[in-house]
Structure 1
Amino acid sequence: MTDEEVLAEFRAAGALLEGHFILSSGRRSANYLQCARVLMNAERAGRLARATVQKLPRELRQEIDLVVSPAMGGLIIGHEIGRALDKDAVFLERPEGRFELRRGFSIAPGQKVLMVEDVVTTGLSSRQAIEAVAAEGGIVIAEATLVDRSAGEVELGVPFYPLVSINFPVYDADQIPPELAAIPAIKPGSRKQ
Protein backbone atom coordinates (compact mmCIF):
# COMPACT_ATOMS: atom_id res chain seq x y z
CA MET A 1 0.00 0.00 0.00
CA THR A 2 1.50 3.35 -1.01
CA ASP A 3 1.49 6.41 1.25
CA GLU A 4 -1.17 8.00 -0.95
CA GLU A 5 -3.35 4.88 -0.73
CA VAL A 6 -3.05 4.96 3.07
CA LEU A 7 -4.01 8.65 3.18
CA ALA A 8 -6.91 7.90 0.82
CA GLU A 9 -8.22 5.44 3.44
CA PHE A 10 -8.05 8.20 6.08
CA ARG A 11 -9.78 10.70 3.78
CA ALA A 12 -12.51 8.19 2.86
CA ALA A 13 -13.24 7.68 6.56
CA GLY A 14 -13.26 11.41 7.32
CA ALA A 15 -10.31 10.76 9.62
CA LEU A 16 -7.89 13.40 8.30
CA LEU A 17 -8.90 16.48 10.29
CA GLU A 18 -7.86 20.14 10.08
CA GLY A 19 -8.09 22.70 12.89
CA HIS A 20 -6.10 23.30 16.12
CA PHE A 21 -5.41 20.07 17.96
CA ILE A 22 -3.73 19.23 21.24
CA LEU A 23 -1.92 15.93 20.67
CA SER A 24 -1.45 13.26 23.36
CA SER A 25 2.13 14.52 23.69
CA GLY A 26 0.83 18.00 24.61
CA ARG A 27 2.20 19.44 21.39
CA ARG A 28 -0.07 21.27 18.94
CA SER A 29 -0.89 20.67 15.29
CA ALA A 30 -3.18 21.96 12.56
CA ASN A 31 -3.72 18.37 11.39
CA TYR A 32 -4.98 15.29 13.23
CA LEU A 33 -5.38 11.72 12.09
CA GLN A 34 -8.32 10.17 13.91
CA CYS A 35 -7.25 6.53 13.73
CA ALA A 36 -10.30 5.34 15.65
CA ARG A 37 -12.42 6.65 12.80
CA VAL A 38 -10.34 5.01 10.05
CA LEU A 39 -10.39 1.74 12.01
CA MET A 40 -14.14 1.71 12.71
CA ASN A 41 -14.69 -0.22 9.48
CA ALA A 42 -13.47 -3.79 9.98
CA GLU A 43 -12.56 -4.33 6.32
CA ARG A 44 -10.51 -1.12 6.21
CA ALA A 45 -8.84 -1.96 9.55
CA GLY A 46 -7.91 -5.39 8.19
CA ARG A 47 -6.45 -3.91 5.00
CA LEU A 48 -4.35 -1.42 6.96
CA ALA A 49 -3.17 -4.15 9.36
CA ARG A 50 -2.14 -6.48 6.52
CA ALA A 51 -0.31 -3.62 4.81
CA THR A 52 1.49 -2.84 8.08
CA VAL A 53 2.50 -6.49 8.53
CA GLN A 54 3.95 -6.46 5.00
CA LYS A 55 6.34 -3.69 6.15
CA LEU A 56 7.88 -6.12 8.66
CA PRO A 57 10.81 -8.24 7.51
CA ARG A 58 9.79 -11.88 7.04
CA GLU A 59 12.37 -13.09 9.61
CA LEU A 60 10.95 -10.69 12.20
CA ARG A 61 7.38 -11.86 11.56
CA GLN A 62 8.47 -15.42 12.30
CA GLU A 63 9.95 -14.44 15.68
CA ILE A 64 6.84 -12.74 17.09
CA ASP A 65 5.10 -14.62 19.91
CA LEU A 66 2.61 -11.96 20.98
CA VAL A 67 1.24 -8.59 19.86
CA VAL A 68 0.87 -5.92 22.56
CA SER A 69 -0.63 -2.47 22.17
CA PRO A 70 -1.36 0.43 24.47
CA ALA A 71 -5.04 1.21 24.96
CA MET A 72 -6.91 3.03 23.69
CA GLY A 73 -5.29 4.06 20.43
CA GLY A 74 -3.38 0.89 19.63
CA LEU A 75 -6.10 -1.55 20.65
CA ILE A 76 -7.96 -2.01 17.35
CA ILE A 77 -4.93 -1.99 15.05
CA GLY A 78 -3.06 -4.26 17.48
CA HIS A 79 -5.90 -6.76 17.39
CA GLU A 80 -6.03 -6.65 13.58
CA ILE A 81 -2.25 -7.05 13.28
CA GLY A 82 -2.50 -10.02 15.65
CA ARG A 83 -5.10 -11.50 13.30
CA ALA A 84 -2.91 -10.86 10.25
CA LEU A 85 0.05 -12.57 11.99
CA ASP A 86 -2.11 -15.35 13.49
CA LYS A 87 -0.85 -14.36 16.96
CA ASP A 88 -2.65 -13.45 20.16
CA ALA A 89 -3.01 -9.73 20.80
CA VAL A 90 -3.32 -8.16 24.25
CA PHE A 91 -3.33 -4.57 25.42
CA LEU A 92 -1.92 -2.41 28.17
CA GLU A 93 -4.04 0.06 30.13
CA ARG A 94 -3.26 3.13 32.26
CA PRO A 95 -5.78 3.08 35.11
CA GLU A 96 -3.41 4.99 37.40
CA GLY A 97 -1.27 6.77 34.78
CA ARG A 98 1.24 3.92 34.21
CA PHE A 99 0.82 1.14 31.68
CA GLU A 100 -0.02 -2.27 33.07
CA LEU A 101 -1.56 -5.55 32.01
CA ARG A 102 -5.05 -6.22 33.33
CA ARG A 103 -8.02 -8.46 32.48
CA GLY A 104 -6.01 -11.63 33.12
CA PHE A 105 -3.49 -10.86 30.36
CA SER A 106 0.06 -12.00 30.94
CA ILE A 107 3.39 -12.09 29.17
CA ALA A 108 5.62 -15.10 29.67
CA PRO A 109 9.25 -14.39 30.54
CA GLY A 110 11.26 -14.20 27.32
CA GLN A 111 8.18 -13.94 25.12
CA LYS A 112 8.98 -11.95 21.96
CA VAL A 113 6.57 -9.06 21.51
CA LEU A 114 5.61 -6.84 18.62
CA MET A 115 4.45 -3.49 20.05
CA VAL A 116 1.71 -1.89 17.94
CA GLU A 117 0.53 1.73 18.07
CA ASP A 118 -1.86 3.76 15.95
CA VAL A 119 0.17 7.01 15.79
CA VAL A 120 3.66 7.82 17.06
CA THR A 121 4.63 11.47 17.49
CA THR A 122 7.23 11.77 20.26
CA GLY A 123 7.38 8.07 21.12
CA LEU A 124 6.79 8.67 24.84
CA SER A 125 3.77 6.35 25.08
CA SER A 126 5.58 3.70 23.07
CA ARG A 127 8.66 3.84 25.30
CA GLN A 128 6.47 3.61 28.40
CA ALA A 129 4.60 0.63 26.93
CA ILE A 130 7.89 -1.06 26.00
CA GLU A 131 9.07 -0.57 29.61
CA ALA A 132 5.84 -2.14 30.90
CA VAL A 133 6.38 -5.20 28.70
CA ALA A 134 9.98 -5.50 29.92
CA ALA A 135 8.77 -5.29 33.53
CA GLU A 136 6.59 -8.34 32.81
CA GLY A 137 9.60 -10.24 31.39
CA GLY A 138 8.69 -9.82 27.71
CA ILE A 139 11.12 -8.73 25.02
CA VAL A 140 9.86 -6.13 22.56
CA ILE A 141 11.64 -6.98 19.31
CA ALA A 142 10.05 -4.22 17.19
CA GLU A 143 7.27 -1.68 17.01
CA ALA A 144 4.80 -1.24 14.16
CA THR A 145 2.47 1.73 13.76
CA LEU A 146 -0.04 3.00 11.26
CA VAL A 147 1.37 6.53 11.28
CA ASP A 148 4.77 7.99 12.18
CA ARG A 149 4.30 11.72 12.84
CA SER A 150 7.84 12.14 14.21
CA ALA A 151 9.40 13.12 10.87
CA GLY A 152 11.72 10.14 11.31
CA GLU A 153 13.03 11.53 14.61
CA VAL A 154 11.56 9.04 17.06
CA GLU A 155 13.92 6.68 18.89
CA LEU A 156 12.26 3.74 20.61
CA GLY A 157 15.25 1.49 21.24
CA VAL A 158 13.78 -1.18 18.94
CA PRO A 159 13.33 -1.41 15.17
CA PHE A 160 10.39 0.76 14.07
CA TYR A 161 8.08 0.02 11.14
CA PRO A 162 5.44 2.63 10.27
CA LEU A 163 2.90 2.03 7.53
CA VAL A 164 3.14 5.70 6.56
CA SER A 165 5.28 8.63 7.69
CA ILE A 166 3.60 12.02 7.72
CA ASN A 167 5.38 15.25 8.46
CA PHE A 168 2.60 17.58 9.62
CA PRO A 169 4.22 20.42 11.58
CA VAL A 170 3.85 20.19 15.36
CA TYR A 171 4.53 22.95 17.87
CA ASP A 172 5.25 23.31 21.56
CA ALA A 173 2.32 24.97 23.34
CA ASP A 174 4.32 28.17 23.85
CA GLN A 175 5.44 28.40 20.20
CA ILE A 176 2.17 28.16 18.28
CA PRO A 177 2.02 30.27 15.10
CA PRO A 178 -0.51 33.14 15.31
CA GLU A 179 -2.81 31.65 12.65
CA LEU A 180 -3.07 28.42 14.67
CA ALA A 181 -3.43 30.27 18.00
CA ALA A 182 -6.44 32.10 16.54
CA ILE A 183 -8.35 28.78 16.30
CA PRO A 184 -9.78 27.26 19.51
CA ALA A 185 -7.78 24.16 20.47
CA ILE A 186 -9.46 20.80 20.90
CA LYS A 187 -8.12 17.51 22.25
CA PRO A 188 -9.58 14.76 20.07
CA GLY A 189 -7.60 11.83 21.53
CA SER A 190 -8.49 9.50 24.39
CA ARG A 191 -6.02 10.77 27.00
CA LYS A 192 -7.06 13.67 29.23
CA GLN A 193 -3.53 14.50 30.47
Structure 2
Amino acid sequence: MTEDEVLAEFRASHALLEGHFLLSSGRHSGYYLQCARVLMNPERGGKLARALVQKLPRELRSQIRKVVSPAMGGVIIGHEVGRALDVDAIFLERPTGVFELRRGFDIAEGEKILLVEDVITTGLSSREAMKEIVALGGDVIAAAALVDRTGGEVDLGVPFHALVTINFPTYEESEVPPELAAIPAMKPGSRK
Protein backbone atom coordinates (compact mmCIF):
# COMPACT_ATOMS: atom_id res chain seq x y z
CA MET A 1 0.00 0.00 0.00
CA THR A 2 1.19 3.51 -0.72
CA GLU A 3 1.13 6.19 1.98
CA ASP A 4 -1.79 7.86 0.17
CA GLU A 5 -3.73 4.57 0.23
CA VAL A 6 -3.02 4.14 3.95
CA LEU A 7 -4.14 7.69 4.75
CA ALA A 8 -7.25 7.13 2.61
CA GLU A 9 -8.11 4.20 4.92
CA PHE A 10 -7.72 6.52 7.94
CA ARG A 11 -9.92 9.17 6.34
CA ALA A 12 -12.57 6.64 5.27
CA SER A 13 -12.91 5.41 8.86
CA HIS A 14 -12.89 8.95 10.32
CA ALA A 15 -9.67 8.10 12.15
CA LEU A 16 -7.75 11.22 11.14
CA LEU A 17 -8.93 13.89 13.59
CA GLU A 18 -8.21 17.62 13.69
CA GLY A 19 -8.41 19.84 16.78
CA HIS A 20 -6.21 20.18 19.89
CA PHE A 21 -5.05 16.87 21.32
CA LEU A 22 -2.95 15.94 24.33
CA LEU A 23 -1.05 12.84 23.22
CA SER A 24 -0.12 9.99 25.57
CA SER A 25 3.49 11.20 25.23
CA GLY A 26 2.45 14.45 26.95
CA ARG A 27 2.95 16.44 23.76
CA HIS A 28 0.23 18.51 22.06
CA SER A 29 -0.87 18.25 18.43
CA GLY A 30 -3.45 19.64 16.04
CA TYR A 31 -3.90 16.15 14.59
CA TYR A 32 -4.70 12.77 16.08
CA LEU A 33 -4.79 9.36 14.46
CA GLN A 34 -7.41 7.23 16.20
CA CYS A 35 -6.08 3.84 15.14
CA ALA A 36 -8.88 2.06 17.01
CA ARG A 37 -11.29 3.50 14.41
CA VAL A 38 -9.23 2.39 11.42
CA LEU A 39 -8.85 -1.07 13.00
CA MET A 40 -12.50 -1.52 14.05
CA ASN A 41 -13.22 -3.09 10.68
CA PRO A 42 -11.54 -6.53 10.71
CA GLU A 43 -11.05 -6.61 6.93
CA ARG A 44 -9.36 -3.18 6.97
CA GLY A 45 -7.25 -4.14 10.00
CA GLY A 46 -6.10 -7.33 8.31
CA LYS A 47 -5.30 -5.48 5.10
CA LEU A 48 -3.21 -2.89 6.95
CA ALA A 49 -1.40 -5.60 8.93
CA ARG A 50 -0.55 -7.55 5.77
CA ALA A 51 0.77 -4.35 4.19
CA LEU A 52 2.89 -3.68 7.30
CA VAL A 53 4.30 -7.21 7.23
CA GLN A 54 5.23 -6.73 3.56
CA LYS A 55 7.36 -3.73 4.65
CA LEU A 56 9.51 -6.06 6.78
CA PRO A 57 12.53 -7.59 5.04
CA ARG A 58 11.94 -11.25 4.17
CA GLU A 59 14.94 -12.38 6.25
CA LEU A 60 13.54 -10.58 9.30
CA ARG A 61 10.05 -12.07 8.82
CA SER A 62 11.53 -15.58 8.83
CA GLN A 63 13.19 -15.00 12.25
CA ILE A 64 10.14 -13.69 14.16
CA ARG A 65 8.69 -16.22 16.61
CA LYS A 66 6.23 -13.99 18.49
CA VAL A 67 4.61 -10.57 18.22
CA VAL A 68 4.33 -8.50 21.40
CA SER A 69 2.34 -5.28 21.63
CA PRO A 70 1.71 -2.73 24.35
CA ALA A 71 -1.93 -2.48 25.41
CA MET A 72 -4.20 -0.84 24.52
CA GLY A 73 -3.28 0.68 21.17
CA GLY A 74 -1.11 -2.13 19.86
CA VAL A 75 -3.37 -5.06 20.70
CA ILE A 76 -5.46 -5.21 17.51
CA ILE A 77 -2.71 -4.44 15.02
CA GLY A 78 -0.34 -6.77 16.90
CA HIS A 79 -2.87 -9.58 16.68
CA GLU A 80 -3.36 -9.02 12.95
CA VAL A 81 0.40 -8.85 12.33
CA GLY A 82 0.74 -12.12 14.24
CA ARG A 83 -1.93 -13.61 11.98
CA ALA A 84 -0.13 -12.36 8.86
CA LEU A 85 3.17 -13.84 10.11
CA ASP A 86 1.50 -17.03 11.40
CA VAL A 87 2.97 -16.58 14.90
CA ASP A 88 1.43 -15.99 18.32
CA ALA A 89 0.62 -12.42 19.33
CA ILE A 90 0.51 -11.35 22.97
CA PHE A 91 0.41 -8.01 24.77
CA LEU A 92 1.87 -6.18 27.73
CA GLU A 93 -0.35 -4.23 30.14
CA ARG A 94 0.20 -1.40 32.64
CA PRO A 95 -2.19 -2.14 35.52
CA THR A 96 0.08 -0.25 37.93
CA GLY A 97 1.71 2.14 35.45
CA VAL A 98 4.56 -0.13 34.33
CA PHE A 99 4.43 -2.75 31.61
CA GLU A 100 4.01 -6.35 32.67
CA LEU A 101 3.03 -9.63 31.08
CA ARG A 102 -0.19 -11.10 32.45
CA ARG A 103 -2.99 -13.53 31.48
CA GLY A 104 -0.65 -16.53 31.43
CA PHE A 105 1.32 -15.12 28.48
CA ASP A 106 5.00 -15.98 28.40
CA ILE A 107 8.16 -15.26 26.50
CA ALA A 108 10.76 -17.99 26.13
CA GLU A 109 14.41 -17.26 26.83
CA GLY A 110 15.96 -15.90 23.61
CA GLU A 111 12.63 -15.90 21.74
CA LYS A 112 12.81 -13.62 18.67
CA ILE A 113 10.20 -10.88 19.17
CA LEU A 114 8.68 -8.28 16.88
CA LEU A 115 7.29 -5.35 18.88
CA VAL A 116 4.18 -3.95 17.18
CA GLU A 117 2.55 -0.60 17.95
CA ASP A 118 -0.27 1.36 16.40
CA VAL A 119 1.44 4.79 16.49
CA ILE A 120 4.93 5.89 17.49
CA THR A 121 5.08 9.51 18.66
CA THR A 122 8.26 9.69 20.76
CA GLY A 123 9.10 5.99 21.12
CA LEU A 124 8.96 6.13 24.92
CA SER A 125 6.23 3.48 25.29
CA SER A 126 7.99 1.23 22.79
CA ARG A 127 11.30 1.49 24.64
CA GLU A 128 9.54 0.76 27.96
CA ALA A 129 7.82 -2.28 26.43
CA MET A 130 11.08 -3.55 24.91
CA LYS A 131 12.82 -3.18 28.28
CA GLU A 132 10.21 -5.46 29.86
CA ILE A 133 10.43 -7.98 26.99
CA VAL A 134 14.22 -8.17 27.43
CA ALA A 135 13.81 -8.50 31.23
CA LEU A 136 11.55 -11.48 30.55
CA GLY A 137 14.24 -13.09 28.36
CA GLY A 138 12.98 -12.09 24.92
CA ASP A 139 15.14 -10.85 22.07
CA VAL A 140 13.47 -7.86 20.37
CA ILE A 141 14.83 -8.08 16.83
CA ALA A 142 12.69 -5.28 15.33
CA ALA A 143 9.75 -2.99 15.89
CA ALA A 144 6.89 -2.05 13.58
CA ALA A 145 3.98 0.37 13.66
CA LEU A 146 1.11 1.45 11.49
CA VAL A 147 2.16 5.08 11.86
CA ASP A 148 5.46 6.77 12.62
CA ARG A 149 4.64 10.31 13.77
CA THR A 150 8.33 11.20 14.19
CA GLY A 151 8.95 11.76 10.50
CA GLY A 152 11.45 8.89 10.53
CA GLU A 153 13.48 10.32 13.41
CA VAL A 154 12.73 7.78 16.17
CA ASP A 155 15.55 5.54 17.36
CA LEU A 156 14.31 2.45 19.18
CA GLY A 157 17.67 0.69 19.18
CA VAL A 158 16.35 -1.99 16.79
CA PRO A 159 15.31 -1.85 13.14
CA PHE A 160 11.98 0.00 12.89
CA HIS A 161 9.44 -0.29 10.08
CA ALA A 162 6.28 1.80 9.71
CA LEU A 163 3.48 1.49 7.21
CA VAL A 164 3.28 5.27 6.94
CA THR A 165 5.52 8.07 8.19
CA ILE A 166 3.83 11.33 9.06
CA ASN A 167 5.37 14.49 10.40
CA PHE A 168 2.43 16.23 12.07
CA PRO A 169 4.00 18.81 14.37
CA THR A 170 3.83 18.12 18.10
CA TYR A 171 4.55 20.59 20.88
CA GLU A 172 5.64 20.67 24.50
CA GLU A 173 3.13 22.45 26.77
CA SER A 174 5.23 25.63 26.70
CA GLU A 175 5.50 25.58 22.88
CA VAL A 176 1.82 25.25 21.93
CA PRO A 177 1.02 27.91 19.30
CA PRO A 178 -1.69 30.46 20.28
CA GLU A 179 -4.20 29.22 17.67
CA LEU A 180 -3.94 25.70 19.10
CA ALA A 181 -3.94 26.92 22.73
CA ALA A 182 -7.25 28.68 22.01
CA ILE A 183 -8.90 25.25 21.53
CA PRO A 184 -9.51 23.10 24.64
CA ALA A 185 -7.20 20.07 24.58
CA MET A 186 -8.79 16.61 24.31
CA LYS A 187 -7.07 13.39 25.38
CA PRO A 188 -8.54 10.77 23.06
CA GLY A 189 -6.08 7.93 23.76
CA SER A 190 -6.42 5.01 26.14
CA ARG A 191 -4.12 6.37 28.87
CA LYS A 192 -5.35 8.90 31.43
**Where on the TM-score scale, by shorter chain, does this alignment land: which range?**
over 0.9
Displacement after TM superposition at 1:132 (Å): 0.5
Deviations 1:18-52 (A, max 9, x none): 00000010000000000000000000000000000
Q: How many residues align?
A: 192
What is the deviation of 1:153? 1.5
RMSD: 0.4
TM-score (norm 1): 0.99
Give the match's secondary structure for 1:127: helix
- For 1:73 and 1:23, the matched residues in 2 are separated by 13
Moved segments of 4+, more than 3 Å: none
Superposed CA deviations along residues 72-121 of structure 1, whole A, max 9, x for unmatched, are 00000000000000000000000111101000000000000000000001
Which residue is equivalent to 1:15?
Answer: 15
Find the counterpart in structure 1 of residue 48 from structure 2: 48
- Residue 98 (str. 1) matches residue 98 (str. 2): yes
Where do residues 30-45 of structure 1 align in structure 2 (5 Å cutoff)?
Answer: 30-45=30-45
2:152 and 2:90 mapped to 1: Cα distance? 27
Q: Which runs of 5+ in 1 are unaligned?
A: none
Superposed, 1:1-193 pairs within 5 Å as 1-192=1-192
Q: CA deviation at 1:17?
A: 0.1
Task: Report the secondary structure of 1:62's partner residue.
Answer: helix
In terms of mean alpha carbon deviation, does 26-35 or 147-156 score higher?
A: 147-156
SS of the aligned residue for 1:67 comes to strand
CA apart distance, 1:152: 1.5
Measure the CA separation in 2 of the matches of 1:191 and 1:107: 25
SS of the aligned residue for 1:115 comes to strand
List alignment gaps of at least 5 residues for structure 2: none
SS in 2 for 1:82: helix
Seq. identity, %: 73
Partner SS, residue 51 of structure 2 = helix
